[in-house]
Structure 1
Amino acid sequence: MMFQVDQLHTLVVVVEEGTFEAAAQRLRITASAVSQRIKAMEQAAGQILLQRLNPVQPTEAGMVVLRYGRQVQLLDGDTARQLSGLAHSAGDHISLPLAVNGDCLSTWFLGALAGFPRAFNAVFDIHREDQEHTTALLRSGAVMAAVTSTAEAVQGCTATPLGIMRYRAVCSPDFASEWLDDLPAIDRLDVAPLVTFDRKDDLQHQFYRGLTGRDLHAPRHFIPTSDDFARAIVQGFGWGVLPEQQCSDDIAAGTLVDIAPHHAVDVLLYWQRWNLASPLLDEVTRRVTTAAVASLHSAR
């Protein structure tokens, strides 16, 4: 083996914590010892593995080693648990990094992991990222599995269809009265304020292009959390696209107006995970796919 297990563990912790000092505190060694381990790894690899930024960032070579380090940790934890028949010591929790988009987090994903068997001794490190970009975290080795809209499996991963996340374009009744003249006036959406999650959020634009064939140039509010995003629409900041799970009750209650009841935005989601024989990853996958069947529209 090119690297020692304690070196690989140190690299993973440094990337997770962001600095050598924070990693040293977690590992209960000195920052100098952390630095020496990373330097020894870089000498063995013949390449720089970490950019000394704040927070530190893995180089391209570092991403390869980071992925390897996480795989070693996962398999080591699975082996220890199976050999003992019990969870191993409390200090040896397995950290499982996962990438999920904000809409899934705020609707069904956390329920999939609730009540996770204690015997696995697992803790979850959730990375919130847009579904079009979660595969980048898989490629970098930053996460072991991800909810993504990308059907093609990342190298070294498997991809399983989860189902369709359906979105509705909605606004408050007062907003409709002021900006849409109480009508589903699609053409007016190009000048009416809209609410968007962040600069990666393209769902409002997808909705408008799908309905009109044109690009959207409306003024935008940026609200970067799912619950606040939905609340901003209810409170009349602008119109926006929400998951059905978040807006169906408000539509039924009359606190939101469905701007185009016959036109939804459907996003087909996939579960991509490392292609490793791991009981821990298998259990996470089983729970996620089961929850998706209950929460999402069938892709068939």
Structure 2
Amino acid sequence: MRIDPDLAATIAAVADEGTLDAASRRLRITPSAVSQRLKALEQQLGRVLVVRSKPARLTEAGEAVVRLARQVALLEHDALGGLGLDEEGARIGIPLAVNADSLATWFLPPLARLSAEHAIDFDLHRDDQNFTARLLESGTVMAAVTSEETPVAGCSSSPLGVLEYRAMAERGFVERWFPQGVTTAALQAAPFVDFDRRDTLQHEWLEARGVSPQGVPRHYVPASHDYALAVELGLGWGMVPLLQGTGALVPLGGPTLRVRLHWQQWNLRSALLDTIAGEIADEARRVLG
């Protein structure tokens, strides 16, 4: 059995765009043609590939097909470039996964340099560093910044460096909530800022100070820049990356939390993907140490 690359690319377009109509516009074919291609491949494989929801959702079988489609497109791009046959102005989309704090502090400069030299359209997927590797498994992205050292199946892994976090708060907030110092009783009452319900950094810091995070007041601010701004404005205390901290914030003491980051990418012989990895690793060595 052989999977037609054009049919696989159609599934990838549906996954990227979210609907058959949007995929048809990207592929410059009719929505009916997209539907026919999808049905043809599902009948050939005997598997449902796409759940027709809004947005469309891939099944496990669909994820495998999309992974194949992205790999074929990447290898074809490299081969045409090596032969000098790539069309002038032809671009390739590169989906990457990255955690919010890396995106806000050090990840964008290497992408800007790469974009200036290569015809790349980056498609960034933001998630917690503990979950970005899942996007590799599903075929959603080709590479990811992750806290997981063990490579996902079919991927390679290399260290990037360490992102350090310190418990910080605005000066007025400290005066209001910690007049007698950062005591256990004060920490049980003072509100903190969580990134989202999967963020555990504040919880780890509290537990290291002998305080259970259960029942402690908290605000949820799910954007890295806005998170730091919320702490600066005195909404609550929070674990702020040292790269993002400002002189307006006061350290609360306690342990500095260190998150080790890794770069995982598909284990393919791709010159372009290796170039991207090299540029990002260089930036990480310079900034993260």
Class of the TM-score when normalised by the shorter of the 2 chains: over 0.9
One-letter code aligned to 1:53: S
Structure 2 counterpart SS, 1:53: coil
In structure 1, the residue matched to 2:54 is 54
d(CA) in 1 for partners of 2:189, 2:169? 14
One-letter code aligned to 1:259: L
In structure 1, the residue matched to 2:237 is 239
Please state if 1:14 is matched with 2:14: yes
8 Å contact kept, 2:188–2:211: no
8 Å contact kept, 2:194–2:202: yes
In structure 2, the residue matched to 1:295 is 287
Structure 1 counterpart SS, 2:208: helix
Please state if 1:31 is matched with 2:14: no
Taking a change above 3 Å as real, the CA distance of residues 119 and 269 of structure 1, as seen in their structure-2 partners, is closer
d(CA) in 2 for partners of 1:291, 1:187? 42
Deviation of residue 184 (structure 1)? 2.6
8 Å contact kept, 1:132–1:150: yes
With normalisation by structure 1, the TM-score equals: 0.92
Taking a change above 3 Å as real, the CA distance of residues 89 and 12 of structure 1, as seen in their structure-2 partners, is farther
Gaps of 5+ in 1: none
Residue-pair matches, total:
289
Matches within 5 A, 1:110-259: 110-116=108-114, 120-181=118-179, 183-212=181-210, 214-247=212-245, 250=246, 253=247, 255-259=248-252
In structure 2, the residue matched to 1:100 is 98
Deviation of residue 163 (structure 1)? 1.0
Taking a change above 3 Å as real, the CA distance of residues 157 and 9 of structure 1, as seen in their structure-2 partners, is same
One-letter code aligned to 2:175: S
One-letter code aligned to 2:105: T
d(CA) in 1 for partners of 2:132, 2:163? 16
In structure 1, the residue matched to 2:87 is 88
8 Å contact kept, 1:176–1:182: no
8 Å contact kept, 2:156–2:265: yes
Deviation of residue 88 (structure 1)? 2.6
Structure 2 counterpart SS, 1:99: strand
One-letter code aligned to 1:287: E
Taking a change above 3 Å as real, the CA distance of residues 216 and 293 of structure 1, as seen in their structure-2 partners, is farther
Gaps of 5+ in 2: none
Deviation of residue 114 (structure 1)? 1.5
One-letter code aligned to 1:265: L
Q: Give CA-to-partner distance per residue, 1:174-208, whole Å, 9 cap, x none.
A: 11111111623344222211111111111111111
Taking a change above 3 Å as real, the CA distance of residues 185 and 27 of structure 1, as seen in their structure-2 partners, is same
Taking a change above 3 Å as real, the CA distance of residues 46 and 186 of structure 1, as seen in their structure-2 partners, is same
* Aligned Cα root-mean-square deviation (Å): 1.5
